[in-house]
Structure 1
Amino acid sequence: MMTSDARYNLIPLLAALLVLAGLPSASNAQNRDNLRISGYVQGNPVRIAAELPEPLGDETWMEYRFQNRLNVRWDAASDLTFYWQMRTRMFAGDLVRDIPGYADGIDHDDGLMSLSWLIFDQNDWLLHYIPDRLYAEWDTADWNIRVGRQRVNWGVNMITNPNDIFNIYSFYDFDYPERPGSDAVRLQRYLGFDSRLELAVSPARDFERSIAAALYSFHTRGYDIQLISGYYRERFAMGAGWAGDYRGAGIKGETMFYADADETNFIASASVDYMFDNRMFLVAELLYNAEGGREDFQLMAEELTPDNPSFSKYQITSQVTYPIHPLVDGTLAVIYYPDEEAFFVSPSVSWSVITDLDFHVLGQFFTGSDDSAFANAGNLITAQLKYNF
């Protein structure tokens, strides 16, 4: 059995192998016309300070993450394309060693087929692989059909998306820009220049956890409107979304209503975004979640669901991005939870070092009263170096 020092000596080696595995080989340097390969490799240390349940207690943890994303696209015919996009990630450090079940939380796949693979699981590091896109697409002038693991993107807002009933994402997930997918069949029929009809079905291993819905989208009086109705995990679901422009400002909104034999829930979000002359970009959003809220929130440990997409009943969010320099952007996101008397603050800076190489620093900080669900939420700081190929 290896000692702790020996295991940590393997981390740089595994990280190097992880990077090399993601880089295109010489034979793939120039992709064929019908085969395209892209992706990135990145590494980021994460420092987390949180108060976790006993026996862990109030401590500070360090985690080291290395990730390779590989995107493969094959145009089999003029109207038929296959996609395979995957994540291979290595986690090392205190969280893997100290938190019971941490590897099980990583090695998790809610899809119809479990494609998650925990390649290595050691005392203080693990290596994990999972594809989040694996589908075939048939596309013609009036029809688009996708079958397989994909992202069914019905959201309109830039912060919170109640309309994304198939694969909602978390605003707090700081290293997953691609956002999750779902195992589904999706049919789109274009009815004209500005209208379409969609039908999507995402079956689950447990049938009651399946999702099926239809969307009708059209344009009227300067606004794009969408109407949604369907079945969400034993609940009836219906909603709407809209997007338009008012004097140069983007106006967007989404609503969803859920009902079953026992309870109902209504969710609504509205946002405005605006680009100023100095290229500063501002987004402000108000969210209402009638049955929302949690008794306790733990950073990096909570999953959102489409029928309960927030940690409080009310949520007010603002995010501003400003180009400090042509190669440097600064962003500040603030969320206020009025019913919890709590705040979330996330500053970040992105620097385009050279072509295809980016550096990013981000913090996530919660503050709230002792009675707040966020009292023990925790804070984190991370730095990320990312190479795109």
Structure 2
Amino acid sequence: MRQHQYYYIFLFFLFISFTSIAQEEEEEKTSKFKENFVADGYLKYMQTIAVQKDYTEEWFIDNLIHNRLNFKYYAGDKWTFGLSGRNRLIYGASPKMIPEYAKQFGNQDQYAFNMSYDWITGKSFVLNSEIDRAYADYSTGNWQFRVGRQRINWGVSMVWNPNDLFNTYSFFDFDYEERPGADAILIRNYIGATSSIEVVFSPSNQFDYYNIAGLYKFNVWQYDFQVLGGYVRENYHAGAGWEGQIGGAGFKGEATYFIPDYAGEDASVVADISLDYTFKNSLYLHTETIYNSNGATGKIGALDPNLELTPKTLSLSKFAFFNEAQYQITPLTRLGVNSIINSNDLSYYIGGNVTTSFSDNFELLVFGMFFFGDEDSLYGQGGSQINWRLKWSF
């Protein structure tokens, strides 16, 4: 009997040992997963007060609650998986006053696949979720392959990017810091310490045509240069860009030549040049100019809200000029002013902003946007906006 007791005791401790080993292995796997898994995001509340041009008509107020989540998993040395999206609830005047506002709010026409969903819509509110990053990345040696929804970042300048063929963005969409992406396959080869070749393939949103383009980057004379070409949005493209310094000032530029693959529109050139400089007292100055060979030379008229934003439509005027000044008035507070002037219809925009950090992950932004011009000019009917935003990052 006692021998049986010893036998059972032996089996008990053997079971405990195996259980402990299995638990340690599971904890090790869990710990390794946590080390390779990264998650962050933010929560924002922004209120927008829109005022008509004459300031005497009704004011319109929108409220936006915006949550973003970013997930990234490093599966070994070669594989990386990324998933990011945002949840937004807007309520106020815009959903109530603008026809089919919900369709515009969660619009993903620039993507091949629709990853946007309206949870609920009402007469004055929309709750929408959308995914704007979802990719698998494989890197080995000098090669990188990325498949899925990603940002193809070919732009060089900071306001207008004629080289940004796949995911154009608007300067006025200041609340979307991450900027839109593209459903694409990216193949990149690093052929040197400062040079690389990229090829991108992306279907259109109706799969009725396919976009493909290549980019070559290299460094010479302490400047970063790039040349590109391809077929995107039913246009053949050839372009170039550069980035360097002149006397300590940043000097950037890019240009793209567009040849439409359809009748009724002439070939065009869109070019941009930029200078920026930061003084020792933290004063930052930035000026930028864009040229559109097919841009208007007279009155442009009010901006069409349904106009598709592409590298060809970054400026509807033949010339537009951007100027900006930023100053760090305290370690936690930054003040800025900026402007855009259309040279041909003489309409202009003036903006002012102040950002204050209450802690490392909590800040307040106040951003005023004011539009001026004749009635038939681009910015003549823009009125004014006052935006204030709280942002908590985690």
Contact persistence 2:82–2:133 (CA under 8 A): yes
Specify the SS of the correspondent of 2:178: coil
Cα RMSD after superposing both structures: 1.9
- 2:57 is the counterpart of 1:71: no
**Superimposed CA distance per residue, residues 198-241 of structure 1 (whole angstroms, 9 cap, x where no aligned partner):** 00011123245532100011111121110010002221111000
Percent identical across equivalent pairs? 35
TM-score w.r.t. length of structure 2: 0.86
Contact persistence 2:51–2:59 (CA under 8 A): yes
Query: What is residue 24 of structure 2 aligned with on the other side?
Result: none
Specify the SS of the correspondent of 1:33: helix
Query: What is residue 48 of structure 1 aligned with on the other side?
Result: 50
Q: Single out whichever of 270-279 and 136-145 deviates more from structure 2.
A: 136-145
Taking the aligned partners of 1:140 and 1:74, their CA distance within structure 2 comes to: 17
Taking the aligned partners of 2:98 and 2:321, their CA distance within structure 1 comes to: 32
Taking the aligned partners of 2:308 and 2:259, their CA distance within structure 1 comes to: 21
Instruction: For 2:69, give the aligned amino acid.
Output: L
Instruction: For 1:103, give the aligned amino acid.
Output: A
1:76-91 residue pairs with structure 2 within 5 A?
76-91=75-90
1:286-301 residue pairs with structure 2 within 5 A?
286-293=289-296, 294-297=300-303
Instruction: Quote the offset at 1:122 in angstroms.
Output: 1.4
The structure with the largest alpha-carbon Rg is 2
Instruction: For 2:285, give the aligned amino acid.
Output: L
1:1-389 residue pairs with structure 2 within 5 A?
32-50=34-52, 59-110=58-109, 111-208=111-208, 210-260=210-260, 261-262=262-263, 263-293=266-296, 294-297=300-303, 303-389=308-394
Taking the aligned partners of 1:124 and 1:203, their CA distance within structure 2 comes to: 35
Specify the SS of the correspondent of 1:32: helix
Taking the aligned partners of 1:94 and 1:370, their CA distance within structure 2 comes to: 23
Distance change >3 Å, CA 297–CA 188, structure 1 → 2: same
Q: Single out whichever of 86-95 and 102-111 deviates more from structure 2.
A: 102-111
Specify the SS of the correspondent of 1:146: strand
Instruction: For 2:190, give the aligned amino acid.
Output: Y
Query: What is residue 4 of structure 1 aligned with on the other side?
Result: none
**Superimposed CA distance per residue, residues 121-143 of structure 1 (whole angstroms, 9 cap, x where no aligned partner):** 01211100001111111123301
Specify the SS of the correspondent of 1:241: strand
Q: Single out whichever of 33-42 and 91-100 deviates more from structure 2.
A: 91-100
Runs ≥4 in structure 1, deviation > 4 angstroms? 300-303
Contact persistence 1:297–1:373 (CA under 8 A): yes
Instruction: Quote the offset at 1:60 in angstroms.
Output: 2.1
Taking the aligned partners of 2:323 and 2:39, their CA distance within structure 1 comes to: 36
Taking the aligned partners of 1:292 and 1:130, their CA distance within structure 2 comes to: 33
Contact persistence 2:112–2:207 (CA under 8 A): no
Q: Single out whichever of 202-211 and 62-71 deviates more from structure 2.
A: 202-211
Instruction: Quote the offset at 1:76 in angstroms.
Output: 1.7
Contact persistence 2:64–2:91 (CA under 8 A): yes
Distance change >3 Å, CA 302–CA 380, structure 1 → 2: farther
Taking the aligned partners of 1:208 and 1:345, their CA distance within structure 2 comes to: 41
Taking the aligned partners of 2:281 and 2:141, their CA distance within structure 1 comes to: 40
Instruction: Quote the offset at 1:302 in angstroms.
Output: 5.4
Instruction: Quote the offset at 1:41 in angstroms.
Output: 0.1
Taking the aligned partners of 1:370 and 1:78, their CA distance within structure 2 comes to: 58
Taking the aligned partners of 2:324 and 2:308, their CA distance within structure 1 comes to: 22
Aligned length: 355
Instruction: Quote the offset at 1:370 in angstroms.
Output: 2.4
Structure 1: state its 5+ residue gaps: 1-27, 52-56
Query: What is residue 13 of structure 2 aligned with on the other side?
Result: none
Specify the SS of the correspondent of 1:340: coil
Contact persistence 1:170–1:303 (CA under 8 A): no
Taking the aligned partners of 1:279 and 1:208, their CA distance within structure 2 comes to: 50
Instruction: Quote the offset at 1:282 in angstroms.
Output: 1.1
Q: Single out whichever of 356-365 and 287-296 deviates more from structure 2.
A: 287-296
Distance change >3 Å, CA 292–CA 208, structure 1 → 2: farther
Specify the SS of the correspondent of 1:104: helix
Taking the aligned partners of 1:209 and 1:41, their CA distance within structure 2 comes to: 38
Structure 2: state its 5+ residue gaps: 1-29
TM-score w.r.t. length of structure 1: 0.87
Taking the aligned partners of 2:58 and 2:293, their CA distance within structure 1 comes to: 34
Instruction: Quote the offset at 1:379 in angstroms.
Output: 1.7
